[in-house]
């Protein structure tokens, strides 16, 4: 059996020195929050106060930044994905193709609209959905493809758009980890029928919690607007002061998945700094790519159409395939974490093995005979996702907001750990 890597006799590389903090409040963030606090409106459902809501303002700013016609803020990235799926007509019994390597929400949101997530394998270089695997997973029950831009890579949108168009499927772009990235000059999130974003605490644009859906299609935008506001939509004209601005149209039943005015104001303050921070991460990632490649590690690649890269996480592959007897990703990650005081961990487990994906744990997903069998994760064993989980490591983008010396520390920690003897017992 394997043992943990031997403890290095020298002091840790980092030895307690701190890493850059995250989140970083932007200039004006505190004033923006105070402005909402002392206003007469904390929610878009509050009575009309004579001026646009902060949510409206952020929606316009984010749509302009992305080059999208419509932006509908939501309470979370999960809410954005669920409303996007339903807006595209996904419902009970439909199949949705999702990448096997992703965060749990890629599958749980499909479950949440009573549909069936179908896992497809990932590209071994980008870790994003493999277009050939996606096409092979299409059946007569398939309604949509959800493509996830993972860690720092953009998926092959040319090929995936082709798959969706050939089979008449909706293409939903999960850009929760790709704020500001671009594909052939267009911002991530604007190349599918709908793009979704998360503004969770960990993301490169954050309000603690929050999300957004974007689209160029006015019909889809109106459906999402209803789905996230209990079936209500903003009135075509401003109402009288003190009256509700949301109208009960009766068009579509929804749920309350609205972004608060505090979160919207915070996002408006943070958005102008996004590109500057992304550029810092990008520059440090290029430096780190060179340093780690020199140690025999392989940094994550992105698809050829990428014209601007965003780093939610830095991901690197260990030389496990060349030396299967070497330490596992979990072992190396734990040792590098001890050297750096920075959480370096394996990439996501395959979704069908994730403890966060358990359809049988909730009765609401038992829709009838045979449905739970269609959801059974035991149906899958995808080699690309399995190999990735055992040989790739990642760490949070905040470390990339440091300087060249910080990148040298990361490389030195990997050098030390990979150079150690790793005991094996029969």
Instruction: Please report the pLDDT score of residue 13 as a whole number.
Output: 95
Model confidence at 399, pLDDT cuts 50, 70, 90, reads very high
Phi, psi of 72 (to 5 degrees): -120, 105
Q: What is the 3-state secondary structure (H, E, C) of 254-314?
A: CCECCCCHHHHHHHHHHHHHHHHHHHHHHHHHHHHHHHHHCCCCEECCCCCCEEECCCCEE
With a cut of 70, say whether residue 1 has pLDDT above it: no
Give the tens place of pLDDT for each residue, 327-352: 899 999 999 999 999 999 999 999 99
With a cut of 90, say whether residue 277 has pLDDT above it: yes
Give the tens place of pLDDT for each residue, 84-131: 999 999 999 999 999 999 999 999 999 999 999 999 999 999 999 999
- Give yes or no for a contact between 135 and 156, defined as CB atoms under 8 angstroms apart: no
> Tokens 């190396």 map to which residue?
332
CATH 3.40.640.10 in the chain is located at 29-272
Whole-number percent of the chain with pLDDT over 90: 91
> Tokens 């700013």 map to which residue?
61
With a cut of 80, say whether residue 321 has pLDDT above it: no
Is residue 212 helix, strand or coil? Answer: strand
Mean pLDDT estimate for the chain? 94
With a cut of 50, say whether residue 4 has pLDDT above it: no
CATH 3.90.1150.10 in the chain is located at 274-419
Q: Which CATH architecture has domain 274-419?
A: Alpha-Beta Complex (3.90)
Give the tens place of pLDDT for each residue, 20-51: 999 999 999 999 999 999 999 999 999 999 99
- Give yes or no for a contact between 170 and 220, defined as CB atoms under 8 angstroms apart: no
CATH number (3.40.630.40, 3.50.50.60, 3.40.640.10, 3.90.180.10) of 29-272 reads 3.40.640.10
Give the tens place of pLDDT for each residue, 186-206: 999 999 999 999 999 999 999
Q: Tell me, yes or no, if the pTM score tops 0.75.
A: yes
């Amino acid at each position: 059996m394997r043992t943990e890597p031997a403890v290095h006799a020298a002091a840790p590389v980092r030895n307690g020195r701190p890493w850059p903090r995250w989140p970083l409040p932007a200039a004006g963030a505190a004033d923006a929050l105070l402005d909402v606090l002392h206003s007469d409106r904390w929610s878009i459902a509050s009575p009309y106060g004579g001026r646009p809501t902060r949510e409206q303002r952020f929606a316009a700013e984010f749509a302009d930044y992305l080059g999208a016609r419509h932006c509908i803020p939501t309470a979370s990235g999960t809410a954005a994905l669920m409303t996007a799926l339903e807006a595209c007509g996904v419902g009970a019994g439909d199949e949705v193709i999702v990448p096997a390597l992703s965060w749990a929400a890629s599958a749980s949101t499909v479950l949440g609209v009573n549909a069936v997530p179908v896992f497809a394998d990932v590209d071994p270089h980008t870790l994003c959905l493999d277009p050939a695997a996606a096409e092979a997973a299409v059946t007569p029950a398939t309604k949509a493809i959800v493509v996830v831009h993972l860690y720092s890579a953009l998926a092959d949108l040319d090929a995936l758009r082709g798959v969706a168009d050939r089979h008449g499927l909706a293409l939903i772009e999960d850009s929760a980890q790709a704020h500001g990235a671009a594909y052939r000059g267009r911002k991530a999130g604007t190349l599918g029928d709908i793009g979704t974003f998360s503004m969770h605490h960990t993301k490169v644009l954050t309000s603690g919690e929050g999300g957004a859906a974007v689209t160029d299609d006015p019909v889809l935008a109106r459906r999402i607007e209803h789905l996230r506001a209990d079936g209500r939509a903003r009135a075509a004209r401003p109402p009288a002061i003190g009256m509700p601005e949301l109208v009960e149209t009766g068009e579509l039943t929804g749920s309350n998945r609205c972004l608060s005015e505090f979160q919207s104001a915070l996002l408006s303050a943070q958005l102008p700094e996004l590109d500057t921070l992304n550029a810092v991460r990008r520059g440090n990632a290029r430096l780190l790519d060179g340093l780690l490649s020199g140690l025999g590690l392989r940094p994550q690649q992105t698809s050829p159409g990428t014209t601007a890269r965003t780093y939610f996480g830095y991901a690197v592959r260990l030389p496990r395939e060349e030396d299967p007897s070497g330490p596992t990703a979990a072992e190396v990650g734990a040792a590098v974490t001890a050297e750096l005081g920075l959480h370096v961990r394996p990439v996501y487990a395959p979704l069908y093995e994730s403890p966060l994906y358990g359809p049988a744990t909730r009765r609401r997903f038992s829709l009838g005979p045979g449905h739970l069998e269609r959801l059974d994760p035991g149906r899958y064993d995808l080699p690309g996702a399995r190999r990735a989980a055992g040989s790739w490591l990642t760490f949070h983008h905040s470390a990339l907001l440091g300087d060249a010396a910080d990148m040298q520390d990361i490389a030195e920690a990997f050098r030390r750990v990979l150079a150690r003897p790793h005991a094996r017992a029969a």
